[in-house]
Amino acid sequence: MNRSISSLVLFVSLFIALNSNAQQAKPVSAPSAAGSAENNSVFDGQTWWNYVKVLADDKLEGRDTGSRGEHTAEEYAVKQLKAAGAQPAGVNGFYQPVKFVSRQIVEKDCSLALVKDGKREPLILGQDAIISTRVMPAAEVSAPLVFAGYGLKIPEQNYDDFSDIDVKGKLVVILSGSPSEVPSALASHYQTGSERWKTLKAAGALGMISIPNPASMDVPWARISLNRAHPTMDLDYPEFNETAGEQLVAVINPASADKLFEGSGHTFAELAALGKDRKPLPRFPLTVSLEAKTKVDTQKVESSNVVAVLPGSDSDLKNEYVVLSAHIDHVGIGAPVNGDRIYNGAMDNGSGSALLLDMAASFKKHPEKLRRSLLLVLVTGEEKGLLGSKYFAAHPTVPAKSMVADVNEDMFLPIVPLKVLTVYGLAESDVGDRVREAAQEFGVPVQPDPQPLRNVFIRSDQYNFIKHGVPSVMVDVSFEPGSPEQQIFKDWLTNRYHAPSDDVNQPVNLETAAKFEDIIRTVLVNLADTTARPEWKQDSFFRRYATGE
């Protein structure tokens, strides 16, 4: 899953130690499936785990976008897809090349300082603040600051944080998150970097300083800060430059945020308490200005998406595609944690890539007549901001209108017994209904996003399909709010998410993985075989991308 959006916008548990003390148990083996779903059971968990073990091996060095390790992972995936009888559906065989520009902060030549009454107070980079390279920053920026609450303008809800403040020529300070009256999918949409910049630009602002909402930080500040020198990437094509003109994006450590509010009559504790419960936030000018000097090195990087097809059997419907997508890249080699520098990404997203390969193999082992074709898309650059899928959705290797649905799998986390699934986008299209039906066959209930503040709906590749009108969902193993499993997931995010310990030595539940795959397979078969195309719900916000309204 993509953290950069989250590291700009949101976050969990600041105070939990970096050292993982979770037990290093071996995976439990899967007993044979039982109950009503027995006949539908195709997977055993072990074949899935075998793929994960290859993709998350230290030799693949964390599969950073454009790296040797990622290339090796893709070669391996292509070999497996060929063995499963899938046909190439990229541009060069299975591959669709994608060009990137990488940006790395040269921190020794950068500075941030707060200025008040002619007095400069430097912010310590890493400790107090981070300059984001997601946007190419201007070399020098000096501007007054204004606090704009959540910094959102949502016409559908008549919500506007900019209606009563002047942000012209200023840097806008925001608390990440959204007010509770805004539905989570809509809130997520308006918190993407490109939507935020549209709003800020229209209001005349120069850039954004975000303060993570301590109530929803996925990764503690110490870990975010640790990897701030890691390069970011962008697609290297003019058509994708959505932040042109944005002069600065920076993130302030919540623990240092009070420095911004001095003399404003407000404290960060007061604002964070409101943000925690998604209550309305005040907006007000700040008494300090910000001076920024930045230096960023850029470099060209090349990578590829991998695209394969299992052709459908129906003479007409085979020209339509059900997409199964997963990102194969991860974050590579980074700052060491407990002496380990390789961020293996076993769950993120070795797990989803493995599911895709396992799924392809299952259709060879258990042939099933699929009426529509199944398009298997392993994307690159997800961790850099959903970039491979952004490129693919804009330049699909099959006709754009022929993609009837996307089921995306990213970090589905089979780490607890399977009691409930979360379906991101459950209420948005009837793909959600098909997932509900399929899960029911296996006795598993589904629920919508239980933690809307984490913005998961926009944090993985399904979002780019959605923006091109394709009804999409992402499905995860989940927990019921308030259950003991909730703590297991929270600990996982704190200790292993985007950390070197997301590796093959962590405990996983192969029985859950198998059942999960069975459910996803049932969904895919349903989508491929039901004559009616999936549709957006009439009241879905995202329907506009399909209808162009």
Residue ranges that bind Zn ion, judged by CB under 5 A: 1, 348, 383
Distance in Å, CB of 3 to Zn ion, minimum: 6
Biggest alpha carbon–alpha carbon distance for the chain: 75
Distance in Å, CB of 350 to Zn ion, minimum: 11
Nearer to Zn ion, 1 or 288 (CB): 1
Nearer to Zn ion, 113 or 333 (CB): 333
DSSP state of 396: -
Q: Residue 71 has which token pair?
A: 């290339």
Which residue, among 275, 242, 106, 100, has the nearest Cα to 175 in the 3D structure? 275
Distance in Å, CB of 267 to Zn ion, minimum: 33
Query: How far apart are alpha carbons 189 and 459 in whole angstroms?
Result: 10
Distance in Å, CB of 398 to Zn ion, minimum: 27
Distance in Å, CB of 125 to Zn ion, minimum: 24
Distance in Å, CB of 61 to Zn ion, minimum: 16
Nearer to Zn ion, 1 or 346 (CB): 1
Contact in structure between 355 and 362 (CB atoms under 8 Å): no
Query: How far apart are alpha carbons 305 and 378 in whole angstroms?
Result: 6
Distance in Å, CB of 235 to Zn ion, minimum: 18
Nearer to Zn ion, 235 or 322 (CB): 235
Nearer to Zn ion, 310 or 377 (CB): 377
Nearer to Zn ion, 308 or 346 (CB): 346
Distance in Å, CB of 498 to Zn ion, minimum: 6
Nearer to Zn ion, 44 or 383 (CB): 383
Residues shown for the chain: 549
> What secondary structure, in 3-state letters, does 188-234 show?
HHHCCHHHHHHHHHHHCCCEEEEECCHHHCCCCHHHHHHCCCCCEEE
Distance in Å, CB of 41 to Zn ion, minimum: 30
Distance in Å, CB of 203 to Zn ion, minimum: 31
Nearer to Zn ion, 404 or 411 (CB): 411
Radius of gyration of the chain (CA): 23
Nearer to Zn ion, 62 or 90 (CB): 62
Query: How far apart are alpha carbons 260 and 178 in whole angstroms?
Result: 20
Distance in Å, CB of 2 to Zn ion, minimum: 6
Query: How far apart are alpha carbons 153 and 204 in whole angstroms?
Result: 14
> What is the sign of the dihedral through the CA atoms of 215, 217, 218 and 221?
negative
CB atoms within 10 A of CB 227: 18
CA dihedral 29, 35, 36, 40 (to 10 degrees): 20
CB atoms within 10 A of CB 240: 14
Q: Which amino acid is at 309?
A: V
Which residue, among 371, 464, 433, 366, has the nearest Cα to 84 in the 3D structure? 366
Report the phi/psi class of residue 368: left, alpha or beta, with left for phi > 0 and alpha for psi in -120 to 50: beta
> What secondary structure, in 3-state letters, does 365-381 show?
HCCCCCCCEEEEEEECC
Distance in Å, CB of 330 to Zn ion, minimum: 7
Strand 472-477 and strand 153-154: the pairing is unpaired
Query: How far apart are alpha carbons 328 and 338 in whole angstroms?
Result: 25
Contact in structure between 333 and 61 (CB atoms under 8 Å): yes
Nearer to Zn ion, 363 or 457 (CB): 457
Nearer to Zn ion, 345 or 471 (CB): 345
Nearer to Zn ion, 3 or 170 (CB): 3
- Tokens 């060491």 found at: 336
Distance in Å, CB of 326 to Zn ion, minimum: 12
Strand 403-408 and strand 321-327: the pairing is parallel
Element (H, E) at 300: strand 296-310
Q: Which amino acid is at 408?
A: N
Q: Residue 243 has which token pair?
A: 């932040």
Nearer to Zn ion, 8 or 438 (CB): 8
Distance in Å, CB of 411 to Zn ion, minimum: 7
Nearer to Zn ion, 90 or 381 (CB): 381
Query: How far apart are alpha carbons 8 and 455 in whole angstroms?
Result: 12
Alpha carbon distance, N-terminus to C-terminus of the chain: 30
